[in-house]
Structure 1
Amino acid sequence: MMNTELVGGDSIFSKPQRPLTLKFEDVVYKIEGKAHNSCEKSSTRTILSGVSGVVLPGEMLALLGPSGSGKTTLLTILGGRLNSSGNKSGKGKVTGTIAFNAAPYSSSLSRSIGFVTQDDVLYPHLTVTETLLYTALLQLPDSIPRMDKAMIAESVMTELGLTACRDSIIGNSVKRGVSGGERKRVSIGQELLINPSLLFLDEPTSGLDSTTAGKIVSTLLNLTKGGRTVVMSIHQPSSRMFYMFHKVLLLSDGHPIYFGKGSSAMEYFASVGYAPSVLMNPSDFLLDIANGALFSIIIDVAFKSNSPFYVYLLEILVTFDANVRNVGLSPVEAMCDREEMKAALISAYNTRLKTVVKKELEDVAKQLRETEPHDKREKWCTSWWVQFTVLLERGLKERKHESFSTLKITQVIIASLLSGMLWFQSQGHVQDQVGLIFNLVCLWSFTPIFEALFTFPREREMLTKERDSRMYRLSSYLMARLVGDLPMELILPIASITLAYWMGGLKPTALSYIAFLLITLLSVLVWQGLGLTIGSFIMNIKVATTFTSILMMLFTIIGGFYVQKVPVFLAWVKYISVSFHVFKLMLLTQFTSTDTYECAPGQICSVSNLHQVQVVGFEHKEFSIMVLFAMLVFFRFLTYMGLRRIGVPD
């Protein structure tokens, strides 16, 4: 049987290396929205209003509240990930105090913190074993041998009950893989590999059945027994899960209305006049009062239908329900004044609970005041070379399925065969050969640029997640991506050009063929770099596609085949047009300034007189080569700068 213990003999449920106490006091988060017109000032919206709490090692805190109450925002702030996650609504500002063992968040501290996002961001074509192994190789320090890292991954799989699906791929909406519960456990397992002291989870039970959700929460409860601190946002847990929580923080429109033991929540709300008249799930009851409506379903139906029956039924419920009667609300107030109810709950919290929470914060602060400083560890736990090799290996395994898919291979082969057949043995027909060359220029410009364009928009979530976890440097990721794409990007162009070149009757010498092929491969890499650059700056796929299409149309039209006399104000574009330089170099592999052809029966013309040749010219070949190589480097540098906006900085 596989050893299920971590290096050093500790199970993943045993005590972490350094327990962490999380304290947060008066956390406020505001965002500035856009004004509706020029006369209005920018509006400020408060997402969180003075949220406080403390979670000790061995405790599990659940953040509860209706949708839009600020649970995920608070979790993101506490986990130190707000800046990388970004804010679409405007610029956000966080105030308040957040401390981990009396110290602020730092890059070295991130090694002790795990963060499981709501969406399981995983590579679909990797197996469960491969997913956890590559994460272990990237996140565990170089001092641990690869074999031991593999054993740690095995241990995590065993403890989380993933051994039965160890060789199954993760899958996605297109390709079937593991179940939703197994996928969530894989995401949790990735964070457990670093033996975190503090674990954040954003709605870990979302989309799962109650049994599977209960197993996950039970697993998290077992983690706290070893001294870990667990904080999760959760929408509507079952009653069985609710009583597993040591502490509960209930939010309503960003305001705290309860913080304390989960087992004491119902007693507290009964003491302030809100108690269910029938037995019900505590979390359902808490969500109802956080919404400010204990009878939200009846109220909505009464308003929508305007039926006297539903209004009468509501009056009966209100008459016999103590939670409304105790605070003196009439039936009309119960239907209309939800905001009053929320205000009453906030007032009750400020009066009865805020001082209790503040005292607990002070008591914990006294104990942690003389806490030891954080370890001065290296910024990265693995070397650049290890990161590069692991990312390269992982990337080749993941992307080989799409890069060499049957559909893509068939598409390229058919396009090449059609080009070869349409221009079959066109040797001697110079104008036809020029057309074939430009057709190949277009084929191997549109294909690589649009393949590369979608790379980073599709991988943004994965890159953000892994960079926030400080798994690797951005430079190692980008270099592994570029090197890994080389065989995938160059094999198909080689096959395509070989077919079209010899079928089309281009210059039948080995030197010309090799030169033509090398120029094509250089152009593919340049176009790929341009696609990566656009994709790294414009993450919206529709916008990126539109922009690229317009740019490609301009470069193609001005590339030397269609327009002979370019207007002066656009003449400069040809010098930055990849198509122009590639078309020129390809023509130079086939023709010289002294070549002639039969332009009419009995009439010999110089190739130099062709309008396409006149546009690109036979001179300055070295300049075009230098421009392409400069673009090759420059576009990749721009790509790196564009990606720096994603995740934490290096």
Structure 2
Amino acid sequence: MPLFGGEEAPTEDASTQPPRDSRALPALMSSCHPISLKFVDVSYRVKIDDHRGGNIKRIFGQSTPPPDGRTAAPPRERTILKGITGTASPGEILAILGPSGSGKSTLLNALAGRLRGGLSGTIIANDRRLGRSMLRRTGFVAQDDVLYPHLTVRETLVFCALLRLPRSLGRQEKVAAAEAVIAELGLAKCEDTIIGNSFVRGVSGGERKRVSIAHEMLVNPSVLVLDEPTSGLDSTAAHRLMATLGSLAQKGKTVVTSVHQPSSRVYQMFDSVLVLSEGRSLYFGKGRDAMSYFESVGFAPAFPMNPADFLLDLANGVYQIDRSIERDNPNIKQSLISSYNTVLAPIVKAACLDNSAIQAKGNIADSGHFPPHYRTGSSFSTGISNWFNQFSILLQRGLKERKHESFNRLRVFQVIVAALLAGLMWWHSDSHNIQDRLGLLFFISIFWGVFPSFNSVFAFPQERAIFMKERSSGMYSLSCYFMARIVGDMPMELILPTIFLTVTYWMSGLKPEFGAFILTLLAMLGYVLVSQGLGLMLGAVIMDAKQASTIVTVTMLAFVLTGGFYVHKIPSCLVWIKYVSTTFYSYRLLINIQYGDGRGISSMLGCGRDMISYNPSCKFVEEDIVGQIAPGVCVGVLLLMFFGYRLLAYLALRRIKA
């Protein structure tokens, strides 16, 4: 039974063949260095803490025993992969089949060099142990399409090319490379369509998956690893996608992919098939020979059926004797594993191993750790654009992507309605009614404290997947990403507050001086940026959108209650909250702009010492305005918060491992 060797990939049907562009690929992408992968006895173990022991260690630390004398339970191990062996050759598609939890994704991550620790066995490329030079030529496409929804297909790939391709290439060459990949993968007809997501209409699922593949094709990988690329696609879209992968394999690339439930048409396109069940191999060999092999060991379908469905049934321990009787027995899996170890395993290992290769490649376990995941950005001299170019590109991309979010209709409607409502509620309010005026200033402090902080708390959690994917590919440095995000958000976050205050200030009849209006605007915009920084910091620290939104809501509630309008005599145990409250300093600054130190207003109202005790307005002025914190102190504290929150956010992002 032929298990290895080349076979011409199936020819694409004209209806499924992606359109080609007559232009030649750029020189960078015109050639492909063939790589043959061999993996022998690959196993992977992961440590699992039990619930009780894990909690004890998290609370008390590894070396500190619990107070009641209990000892933390030792971590248990779970074996995900159990001695997997096989090969993947240039010009072929190796498909990994198996039910959920069989170890498909783990094996793909191992072959792509994305696992560290717990991995044993041997993985070699062209008879050499995996290293950075080999991983540099490996492209990995995750199961989930992690893309910016509001960028078009062309913008997505052009920005990726500008960030990822070597800086020895000029901008036009990088754009040409992106356009060539668009043509190669048949994306020309949708290149000006936005990517979209579940809330925004964009390209189809198959086209979105091709864009993810195009991300990796920009660096012209020799090995392309894909985790369930047909997941969520209909049969026709899945076949078209596999036809695209087949055309890439024909150009000398090694394609390794896991497929959840392929149709019979898709299955016929697989050159080699590896069937997994609970981390063990049931079959490895040519896809066309799988049915005859299982028939030879006593498992044949009762009626003609899709080979992939039959293989998945066996991997699940299900064997249908006839059309009406179905046997579900764990012994089926054990029988298949035993047959594989007896019949196929010696042949597969013999084809993978030879003495010269063993000496050249070494062993993963012998090296002490798995080779670190390749990062194209680990050394700037290897071709990544310099810091300022990265910053400029990320800034442009961020402005294009987030302008839709910052100025969506609902958000603009929310701000305009709030401005008009405040203006009408305080329409030309009486300057002598100090309490009403202070209520307006405090409302402004509340609204522009909660609104930007709540919106910005989602920024980093929502972009975490994209950030980790791009950082693991070495597309840019963390400092570039962070600065581009901070600088790009500032102008967008300040436009709506400016519109709000312009409407509310003159409608409510606050201090009718243009200088006072400008100072109020500057104070409010600074406060908006501080509140935004608070949200960014909490989002970066927690990195969970729901939890972070809850924490920022509670934090702003505490800041509002201690802001100085609702409660004047704060309990001593809570008074510290007032001095870390952004609302407190913003409110004091707005009061100072309108009323100065308040003594003029106090004398105008005739508030002597004997009047304060029974005149509500005098009491309010005395407690809220006279003798409060100097404006310079408020500005200084807000500046400290502006930089402090962002520094904490940056440090929180640094702890995230790409």
TM-score bracket, normalised by the shorter chain, equals: 0.7 to 0.9
User: Whole-Å Cα distance in 1 between the matches of residues 134 and 486 of structure 2?
Assistant: 31
Identity between Structure 1 and Structure 2 (%): 48
Taking the TM superposition and a 5 Å limit, the aligned residue runs for 1:265-414 are 265-295=290-320, 313-314=324-325, 334-335=327-328, 338-363=329-354, 366=357, 369=360, 378=381, 381-414=384-417
Instruction: Pick closer, same or farther for the CA change 1:476–1:197 going to 2, 3 Å.
Output: same
- Within 2, Cα distance between the matches of 1:184 and 1:297? 38
> Structure 1: how far apart are the matches of 2:124 and 2:513?
72
2:38/2:123 contact within 8 Å kept: yes
Equivalent residues, number: 601
Whole-angstrom CA distance in 2 between matches of 1:80 and 1:146: 30
Separation in 1 of the partners of 2:338 and 2:626? 77
State how 1:569-608 maps to structure 2 within 5 Å.
569-593=573-597, 595-597=599-601
Work out the CA distance in 2 between the residues paired with 1:646 and 1:630. 25
SS of structure 2 residue aligned to 1:542: helix
Alpha-carbon distance change, 193 to 602 in structure 1, aligned in 2, over 3 angstroms: closer
Find the aligned partners of 1:82 and 1:608 in 2 and give their Cα distance. 69
Larger mean CA deviation between 396-405 and 268-277 belongs to 268-277
Equivalent-residue separation in structure 1 for 2:321 and 2:78 (angstroms) = 26
Write the deviation string for residues 589-622 of structure 1: whole angstroms up to 9, x where unpaired.
Answer: 1223353437998766799953784599533433
- State the one-letter code of the partner of 1:4: R
SS at match of 1:568: coil
* Secondary structure of the corresponding residue to residue 73 of structure 1: helix
- 1:196-222 Cα shifts (integer Å, max 9, x gaps): 111111111122222322222122122
8 Å CA contact 1:564, 1:612 repeated in 2: no
- The 5 Å alignment of 1:536-547 reads 536-547=540-551
Residue 50 of structure 1, CA deviation: 1.8
Please name the residue that 1:330 is paired with. none
2:636 maps to which of 626, 629, 636: 626
Aligned to 2:24: 5
Correspondence 1:508 to 2:523 = no
**Distance change (3 Å), C-alpha of 1:491 and 1:234:** same
Whole-angstrom CA distance in 2 between matches of 1:620 and 1:597: 17
SS of the residue corresponding to residue 152 of structure 1 reads helix
2:257 corresponding residue in structure 1: 232
Out of 436, 441, 448, the residue aligned to residue 444 of structure 1 is 448
Mark the CA change 1:570 to 1:339 in structure 2 (over 3 Å): closer, same or farther: same
Check the 8 A contact 1:3/1:151 in 2, yes or no. Answer: no
SS of equivalent residue, structure 2 residue 276: strand
Q: Which one of 190, 198, 202 corresponds to residue 177 of structure 1?
A: 202
**Cα contact 2:294–2:300 (8 A) shared by 1:** yes
The aligned counterpart of 2:145 is: 120
**Which residue of structure 2 lines up, in the alignment, with residue 47 of structure 1?**
80
Verify the 8 A CA contact 1:424 1:505 in the aligned structure 2. yes
Q: Secondary structure at the match of 1:170?
A: coil
Cα gap change, 1:223 to 1:424, in 2 (>3 Å): same
Rounded Cα–Cα distance in structure 2 between residues aligned with 1:37 and 1:383: 48
Query: C-alpha displacement at 1:457, in angstroms?
Result: 2.0
Letter in 2 for 1:339: P
Aligned partners of 1:612, 1:345: CA distance in 2, in Å? 86
Distance 1:536 1:296, change over 3 A: farther
What is the match of residue 561 of structure 2? Answer: 557
Alignment CA distance shift 1:297-1:545 (3 Å): farther
Conservation of the 8 A alpha-carbon contact between 1:463 and 1:647: no
Contiguous gaps of at least 5 residues in structure 2: 1-19, 54-69, 363-370
One-letter amino acid matched to 2:352: L
Q: 1:644 to 1:602 in 2, by over 3 A?
A: closer
**Residues 451/364 of structure 1: CA separation in 2 closer, same or farther (3 Å cut):** farther
Of residues 195-204 and 142-151 in structure 1, the stretch that sits farther from structure 2 once superposed is 142-151
Judged with a 3 Å threshold, the aligned counterparts in structure 2 of structure 1 residues 608 and 258 are, in CA distance, closer, same or farther, namely farther
> 1:188: which partner in 2?
213
Match of residue 61, structure 1, among 94, 116, 136: 94
Contact 1:205 1:234 in 2 (8 A): yes
**Aligned pairs for 1:80-159 within 5 A:** 80-82=113-115, 93-101=118-126, 109-159=134-184
- Separation in structure 1 between the aligned mates of residue 588 and residue 112 of structure 2, nearest angstrom: 55
Conserved? CA contact 1:57–1:229, under 8 Å: yes
For the Cα contact (< 8 Å) 1:101–1:368, is it kept in 2? no
Listed as ranges, the matches of 1:467-486 within 5 Å are 467-486=471-490
With over 3 angstroms needed to count, the CA separation of the structure-2 counterparts of 1:570 and 1:108, relative to structure 1, is farther
Which of 7, 11, 20 is matched with 2:35 structurally?
20
In structure 2, the partner of 1:331 is none
- Name the CA distance, whole Å, in 2 between partners of 1:212 and 1:580: 57
Residue type matched to 2:218 in 1? L
Give the TM-score of the pair, scaled to structure 1: 0.85
- Alignment match, 1:199: 224
Displacement of 1:24 in angstroms is 2.6
Residue 173 of structure 1, CA deviation = 2.4
1:422: which partner in 2? 425
SS of the residue 2:646 aligns to = helix
* SS of residue in 1 equivalent to 2:564: coil
Aligned CA RMSD, in angstroms, stands at: 3.0
Which secondary structure does the structure 2 equivalent of 1:484 belong to? helix
Q: Matched residues in 1 for 2:622 and 2:137: separation?
A: 64
Question: Secondary structure in 1 aligned to 2:79?
Answer: strand
The alpha carbon displacement at 1:182 in A equals: 1.6
Deviation, structure 1 residue 468 = 2.1
1:408-434 deviation digits (Å, cap 9, x = unpaired): 112111111211221222323222111
Are residues 1:78 and 2:93 paired?
no
Task: Decide whether the 8 Å contact of 1:578 with 1:628 is kept in 2.
Answer: yes
CA deviation string 1:446-503 (max 9, x = no partner): 1100110111222222222222222221211111111111111001111111222222
Describe the superposition over 1:52-99 as per-residue Cα deviations: whole angstroms up to 9, x where unpaired. 22223333211100122111122123223347xxxxxxxx83333334
User: Displacement, 1:508?
Assistant: 2.3
Distance 1:408 1:365 in 2: 66
Q: Which residue of 265, 282, 286 corresponds with 1:257? A: 282
Relative to structure 2, which stretch is displaced further, 43-52 or 522-531?
A: 43-52
Aligned partners of 2:591 and 2:625 also within 8 Å: no
Q: Retained in 2: the 8 A contact 1:291–1:342? A: yes
